Structure 1
Amino acid sequence: MATLTKRTDSTGATSYRVEVRLKGYPAQRATFERLTDARKWASATETAIREGRHFGTVEAKRHTLADLIDRYTRDVLPTKKAKTQGPQVTQLTWWKDQIGARTLADVTPALIAEYRDTLSREPVPSMAKDQAKAGPERTRSPATVNRYLAVLSHCFTVAVKEWGWIEFNPLLKVTKPKEPRGRVRFLSDDERERFLTACRESSNKDLYPAVILALSTGARQQEIMGLRWPQVDLTRRVATLHETKNGEVRVLPLAGPALDLLRERAKVRRLDTDLIFPGRLRPAKPVDLRTPFETALKRAEIADFHWHDLRHTAASYLAMNGASLAEIAEVLGHKTLSMVKRYAHLSEAHTASVVERMNARYFGEGAK
């Protein structure tokens, strides 16, 4: 919204001061001798701000997107977890190759949206060695596109808050592709019995205890395979995870077969490593269970199932046994309930019983 104020100085000369204020943006001000010029500036400035083309500082015209990405890669990226640095370098390199020559003043929401769509349509290079067996050409998923947008958005956020290169993050006005609802694939009772039998009979003796630990705790594969003996307290029946996906320490309660198997394994632990599941030839690194896991699935005749689905299975079992969404989020280590709402339909009976107990207590069994 523009506000025009007429001013007259001691000599009788008239001027017009204009102030443009839009929610979420810094106010822009200018003074003109002619009312017509003031109105034109107000209209043009307001339009430019709404379209993400207006930047009040000359820094936005001095620096290119490539400058921003280079400084971010040098100063910010090294502070992140090592496993995220590689993918984000790839993502930032893509943006730099596409529009790196543009000044920050020219990187508008419209421009980013255009290249967001390019990113979505662009074929992804196949990783298959034999291109004849690579299969049909595929494009990036909405989730992948959103990761490209997220790292670029953080670049602009840092440039706004810390470097003063720009005044507004244009990514805030760019719509993210809608991601499909997360799948919920869990083992039925019959599948679970078949699969655990196949794991017990596997030639790899690490498979069964690792799977039991995953089903019992809902921990991620990386968390389980990276687990070390100093993190496990068999007396207190807990395992403490210091490196988790969200960066917070999480404690895994140990119970039932998972606790028993860890107690047995603790009696014959290796002396050349403190990993609970060390590799055979390279004990300093976790064992690779990919082939034994897939073999067990085939023997159990279970299709469309991945290791991460063990985590879904644990969460589903919790829901079906009366755990609330907040409790499931606590066990899985999610900061919000959004990620566990996919299990809500499995806990409907529990929700109904909670409502019934409340009604019985406050309104009586025969309340009408």
Structure 2
Amino acid sequence: MQTYRDVFAVGEFRTLFAGATAGVAGSTVTMLALSTLVYAHTGSPFLAAVAYLAGFLPQALGALVLGGLADRLPPRLLLAGWEAVHACALAVLALGVLPVWGMPALLMAAGLADSVAAAARNALVADLLPGNGYVLGRSVLNIAVGAMQIAGFGGGALLLSLVGPTAAMWAGAGTAAVVAVLYRLGLRARAPRATERRSLAGARLLLGDRDLRGLLLVQWAPNGLIVGAEALYVPYAGDSAGVLFVAAAGGMLVGDAVVGRWTTPESRLRLGVPLYVLLAAPYLLFLLRPEVWMAAALVAVASFGFAGHLGTQERYLAALPERMRGQGLGLAGSGMLSAQALAASLTGALAEGVPVPVAMALAGLASLTATACLIRHLRPVTRPADRRV
């Protein structure tokens, strides 16, 4: 596969694409509504940051303990069933029966199971799009994430201004229900990829291999720390925070489009370090406390650097044994989300004691430090996967 047209010629990928884009839009609206609600009630940057990424915090734990289910359960049943459960959880949020602290707690509980569904979805992409098709598929899904985040933040901001956060949460619940139906009707039945029970044992094997562990850390640390800075957009910009969120999503969209479509595996390798540096360096300028329009430009430039993740994913997939593809990709994705949520919590806590722009710049410096420490793992893995695990 060489073009996006080739990727979209696969009918089941079109279903996954539609489900992923709709799900991201719904989740973005819900996250924005919850973060705004918690910040309005508490005035705490720390609690607002935790609420923004509450569902991501436990995903690494879910991948470690439950990740093997991604290979042991039929993917259509798993994906459709989870979206139905997710819709019910969001409906509980929309009903307003939980206290403020209970809303993030519910999303954290849901995040445990969400890690398994994400693993199954990523593995199915790899199955449907072999070879270079996987990078193209991940690229177009990342582009969709950026586009739907723009739509989600715009639509969420509109809903919040017109009818408040409750309507936004109902919109998220309805979207999840639609995605459940889409997966049920648009994916064909498949047998599980594996039958043995090995969630914890498989995680130990993946984390025990030095090269695989290094590739996992590259996927988790640099961009996770930057999302910690992103979680402070609301305290930094107040009512104009949506401008920064849209700029971040737009920069990521352009980066994935350019790097995913117009680079080769060799050039993606060469671009890895520069892109990870670009991801963090603009946030150092937040020490100057730029106005919102300049901050948006810096955020957009930095978010282009998220495309460095494509080359890392490609090398990681090549190193994984096929029988552990679901669990391995799930651990990578869920660990990344948990790292992002942890970084958001830490930068939010830091912002309780130092000015918000300083906390954002420190997050950028930490990301650059992580890239420097992990730079050797940006080289390709050359040993055969079957000798690793």
Does the alignment reach a TM-score above 0.5? no
Structure having the larger proportion of residues in strand? 1
Structure showing greater radius of gyration is: 1
TM-score (norm 1): 0.23
Greater relative CO (CA pairs within 8 A, separation 6+): 2
